[in-house]
Structure formats: structure tokens, C-alpha cells
Structure 1
């Protein structure tokens, strides 16, 4: 950029200035610091360009384009800017602060997502809250969202769902807390001084909906478990996958996403262990595979040719939403349940069997409090968890009306037979013909399994 000597700006003079091959700058002789930049595109722009002692670079503030902005308007505006600079105020920083002060709720939410490491499941929940409960607030500057608005929206949402009302306000609380520390002025002070959701705590307006207490009770397990086999008896691969997923949830107590996105790469059927890498608390969990759980894994292995245990024909490669099949299970069994009910059923069964508290916490991958010193010294490997896992599994099978040993041995035998080549099957039949077993017995076992 070339810089010309000072000129006394007049309209005729500025209109006549030529467009050069590179940007050129002209200084006004009447107002020190007012310049006109002529860009290679032909635009002529008024700016204040001022070197200030103690700053690493000159301050440049755009005023506007000539001739839309007149010379007198530019000089008047330039004097205001130069006055602010003389008082130690950087107009550009002041403009950034003003823009931040008017930042909208939606922009805060987008900034929050970009700076936080959030799981896809968490983001889906947040998106639902933003879309369903505060869509009319998206364009509002957050500084205009007052305590009164917060209380009114919480009251309105509570009329239909107390839990969802609290959920919405928890997200807003997080966004306001984020804004308090994220958007600062030139003195590194927060632009926003308060979180309006705090009024809910001050006035004790939170609904504080208690944790659900539902689970599948012992007397219902047999009928519920039988419904899984009946619904699974179909040629539809998706239905089979969901039924196996529900059954595996019942026998492990794991969370929905922990199982659904389980890849075969994290399952070792030979060593009879599997690793849940993507957990809620971010801590990977290595678990043993019980006898019955092994039969489910083996059944899945025969029915899949992809990367995931619960394979599905979609862009993700695994089952994402099992609601429709779960609704079929509810209809077939007559027992309403949620996936988290199965987690509570597993935990309650373990507690009744007097499995240790720290063992249960490890099986469920629950974090212990930092002040729990004993928990810090309780380190349990997958092999050490094998015995309690088998005890819980056996009890659940008993409650399902299945004699676990006979059931497991039968399923294991049939699963092994299905993997044999035709030649090996012929050899097995020959061996069995010389023993007390008969093909009729095998067929009967297969019929029971089906």
C-alpha cells in the first residue's frame, strides 16, 4: 500500500482520485488521523488511522464508504473516535464488547457446543431442548433474558412436564455460566454479571423430580423374558438385533449407548471379555462374558458381517433407535418397561444377592466420590468380576424360568454345531451314533432352543 501526502479533502477532489493497481491511502489535512483508503476494487473508505504511544500497532477504525458517508460526517465521527483514543479507549475493542453484549442465546449455545467435548447423545438432548422449549428465544440477546422470563417459562413447562421443565433450565443455567466466563471486556472482566436461572434456587422453584423407581419385578421376569424369544422369532434382522440388545441389557445392566455402538473389535470371545470404550463417565470398562451372555454374542456373531455387534442397515452401521421393537415387547409381554428399568433390575438383583457395593459400582461403571478413600483402593479386574457376573446371570436365568446349566449347555452345544463344516458334522453324527445319544435327542434340544 502506498501512502500519499496530506490533502484538504473536498468532494470534487475525492471523486477524481484514480484507482491504482494497489491500495492507496490519502490523509486529511484538516483532521489529523482521518484517512481515505482507495481499494483496487474501486471502493473509497474513510478510516481513522492513529499511532498511539505504548501500543504495538496503530489503531485503525473503519468509518464508512465515500460518498455515502460525506466528508463532514467522516470528520465529525473521526473526532469522536480520536477523543476516545486520547482517553485510552480502543474503539475496536469497545465495538467487540458491544457485539458480545448483544450476543444471542443461539450463538452462546453454538459457542458452548464448539468449546465443550460433548457426546453425540448429549448434543441430541440439548438440540431437543433448544428446538422444543426455547425456540422463540434463539434470537434474543441473552442480556435481555431476565429472571422474570426464566420463572415464567419454567412455570409454563412445568404444567406439562416437571422433569422437562427442570431439564430445560439446567441447560440454560449451563449456557449462562459459560457466558459469564467466556465473554470479557478489555479489562478481562465478565460482560455479564449474573445468571438469571439462579432465581429458581433462591425462590425454591425447582421441581426436583425424584429418580425413577421402576424395574421389572421378580414375578414378572418370566413372562417378560418369554416375550423376547417370541418377538425375536422372525426373519427381520433389525428385530432380532434389538431383541438381542434388550436381552444383553438385562444380563449386563449397561446403558443404551454403551451397548448399541459396541464394535466387534472390542469383543474377545476366546478370552470371554469385552470392553465398553464409550461410557458415560469417559472411563473404559472391561467386563467378563458370562456363560449365557456368551451365547448371545455367538448368536450375534453368526448374524452379522459388519463392524458392530448390533448391526443395522443405516449410515451408522448399528441400531440407533430401538423404540418400535421395544413397544412390541411391551405389547407382547404386557409389561411396560424402559431400558433403564433393566439397569435397575440388574442392580437390584445384584444387591439382593449381596454382591459387594464396590463390585456393583464397577459393573455399572459408576464413579465414586473423591472423598471415598476405600473406593480408591478397590481395584477389580475383569477376571475378578467374572464370579459375581456369573452369579447375577444365573439368578436372572432362574427368575426367567430357565435352569441355567441345562439351558447354557444346550445353547453352547447347538452354537458349536452350527459352526462345524458338513464333514465335521458327519463325523460328529457318526460318533454320537456309537454313544447313548441319538439324533432324536439333538433334534429335541434344537426344538427347545428355537
Structure 2
């Protein structure tokens, strides 16, 4: 009969040393109980009967541990076809740098920059990579509960790196815990007074963050689509995003309103990337955290995110009577009213409809910022 949670809870600590209780239902898998009472899942595998720790109970559940044990035994079954090799001694920092370098050639610049930021900011481990435990990875992730989006992105980054380490041969089994996140869908839409306040703040804030915010308000595009914008993608007052840049991997073209075009024409000239990093003209601006804190310091409105500006744009389009399929074309949504079979047969670009919608939107923005101009 297989081990159960109740049995594991009742296992007593030995008077000295450690004792392993194996699971009859999964040969090689068991729980090692230390003299101090700690209970650790282990798996024995391979011709050399190697033993791997899978994490402590109850941080790792019994069902999770069984999955990890089966995965380890399946991986080693393949390794047994070749001469056995010990894992190389690699530090976390070395593995991280090699992961980023290897992934950079196959991943979008925005994604690898985000991986780099998250891994350097949240995960600091000394010692060998092979000594890294699930608890050590889980702890920094748990400290990010107040920022659910950052928490989930950090988890994805470390899980992706650990999976790469397994494929690279640095680890037999990924120590990344099997975490799940429940996030409430955001519903924040800025009202006219709030949107006008953000605009007026952006007007006097300066390049690059001020114009970025203005273009987010006027175009409704994603943050990455504005900050990664290149002058070579703009022609005849149209932005033509290449498919490899856009989130959904589909070419995306939108017309620019006169106001948005004038903001772009006033940006510093000389390089293709409109909003480059302070240190590298070939990499987009990444200093959003510090810039937004400074930007919001003088705004007397409720907390908001830059993505809320995109949601506000969509809501404003509805208020102005823009057909939903035109709005979705502007936002480059592929799962909306024109999707599936309809998307295959409907190749109409809706350029004229989008031009009309953007003109209407810019007129609306002009009226509300005049109506809610701050007192000097």
C-alpha cells in the first residue's frame, strides 16, 4: 500500500541519525526522517543507486513528490544507456549567466531583459546549484505576495531557468516548487479627471517617460510596443510592427493620429529606437519602476498601472461608439470578435475605420484635458 499523508505525519524521528521509509507503491521513493524531526522526500534511481532529495514535507506535497520522483527515474533511465556521469559543480550565479546568454539568442529582447531583471533582483543563492532546495526558491517568491504580477513573473523566470539547468545537465530534477497563483482580473479604468491629471503630468515630465505615457494614452498600445518602437517602422503616418516583435506573433499595423505623430516627431533624433536605454542605444528603456514612482509622486489619484491606460483607451472607444471589431484591431486582440474561422476569411485591414476612431479619440482627449486643466 502506498504512503499516505496521515502515515507521513505520524512518522516518528529516530533517536539518532536518519531513517528512510520507502513507498511500496513506487519503488525507490520514500521519506527520510531526521533526528530533529524533519521529513524530506527522496528518490533512489539509476544503476549506481544514486539518491536525490526532492524537498521537505509539507512544503512539497506527497503528490508533487511522487511526480518529481517518477520524472527523475524516467530521466535517469535514459542516462543509464550511456556511461554514468556526476553532475558538474556549478554555482547559481554561473548557471544564471549561462542561461541568460544561451536564451538571449532564441528569445525576444523584451523577454530576456525581463528574465535578467527578475533573476538578479529576487534570487540570490550562494553555494552550489545542486544544493539549492525548493524552500530556498519558494521563500523569495512568497515575499512578493503584495505584488501578484511581479510574483508570478518571478516564478516563471526561475522555473524556466531551472528547467534549462536540467536540460543542460546541471541538475537531475528541477528544484522549482509547483506553485499556483490566483490573481483577480484588473478592472481599473481611469476616469476623465484622472486621465487628464496623468496627461498634464506627462506633458511637463520630459523624455523618455513623459512621451511614453502620452503615446500609451493616445494609441492604446502595450507598454512594450511603445517603448520598443523604432522610427524605421513608421512610414506615411503608419506604424507597422513586425510579427517577431509583437506579443501574439502577428504583424500589426495601426495609423497614427496627428497628435501622436507630432509627439513622435518631437522626440530626439539620431537613432532608430525611439526610447533607448540610458546605457545602450540598441536596447529599449527599462527604468519603469523608478520612473513611475517619481512620476506618480505628484499625482493625487488612486494607484494605477500603465496597462490600465490601455484598458481606459478601450473603454473610451466604447464610450465614443467605436465598433468593437475596430477597437480590437487597434489593440491587436486576436481572440475577440474576429477570431477563429472569421479571422482567416476576414482580411480587411480596417485602416480607414481606425483612422476615424483615432481622430475621434484624440479630439476627446483634447477636450477633457482642457476641461480639467490644473490651476496655475
TM bin (shorter chain): 0.5 to 0.7
Q: 2:160 aligns with which of 154, 167, 174?
A: 174
- The aligned counterpart of 2:199 is 225
| Separation of aligned partners in 2, 1:249 and 1:326 | 14
- The aligned counterpart of 2:177 is 197
- Extract unaligned runs of 5+ from structure 1: 1-89, 185-190, 201-205, 233-238, 403-450
Q: 2:281 aligns with which of 316, 330, 342?
A: 316
Q: 1:394 aligns with which of 363, 368, 375?
A: 363
Kindly state the Cα deviation for residue 160 of structure 1 after the two structures are TM-superposed: 5.9
| Separation of aligned partners in 2, 1:261 and 1:348 | 25
Kindly state the Cα deviation for residue 349 of structure 1 after the two structures are TM-superposed: 1.3
Instruction: Indicate the SS of the match to 1:98.
Output: coil
- The aligned counterpart of 1:349 is 316
Superposed counterparts of 1:240-251, under 5 Å: 240-251=207-218
**Does residue 121 of structure 2 align to residue 132 of structure 1?**
yes
Instruction: Indicate the SS of the match to 2:280.
Output: coil
- Extract unaligned runs of 5+ from structure 2: 1-78, 372-376
> Is the contact made by 1:180 and 1:193 (CA closer than 8 Å) also made in structure 2?
yes
> Is the contact made by 1:267 and 1:274 (CA closer than 8 Å) also made in structure 2?
yes
> Is the contact made by 2:91 and 2:128 (CA closer than 8 Å) also made in structure 1?
yes
Q: 1:381 aligns with which of 336, 349, 365?
A: 349
- Between the two structures, name the one with larger relative contact order (CA 8 Å, sep ≥ 6): 2
Instruction: Indicate the SS of the match to 1:224.
Output: helix
Superposed counterparts of 1:12-411, under 5 Å: 93-95=82-84, 97-99=85-87, 109-110=96-97, 112-113=99-100, 114-115=102-103, 117-136=106-125, 139-141=128-130, 145-147=132-134, 154-155=141-142, 157-158=143-144, 161-179=147-165, 183=169, 192=172, 197-198=177-178, 200=179, 206-229=180-203, 231=204, 239-268=206-235, 271-277=236-242, 278-300=245-267, 304-310=269-275, 315-316=280-281, 320=285, 321=287, 326-327=292-293, 329-335=295-301, 336-368=303-335, 372-381=340-349, 383-384=351-352, 385-401=354-370
Larger radius of gyration: 1
| Separation of aligned partners in 1, 2:317 and 2:181 | 31
Instruction: Indicate the SS of the match to 1:94.
Output: coil
Deviations 1:247-282 (A, max 9, x none): 1111012233322332222222xx221223433334
> For residues 381 and 172 of structure 1, do their structure 2 counterparts lie closer, same or farther at Cα, with a shift above 3 Å needed?
same
> For residues 166 and 312 of structure 1, do their structure 2 counterparts lie closer, same or farther at Cα, with a shift above 3 Å needed?
closer
Q: TM-score, normalised by structure 1?
A: 0.52
What's the C-alpha RMSD, in Å, of the aligned pairs? 4.1
> For residues 163 and 356 of structure 1, do their structure 2 counterparts lie closer, same or farther at Cα, with a shift above 3 Å needed?
same
> For residues 358 and 108 of structure 1, do their structure 2 counterparts lie closer, same or farther at Cα, with a shift above 3 Å needed?
farther
- The aligned counterpart of 1:415 is none
Higher helix share: 1
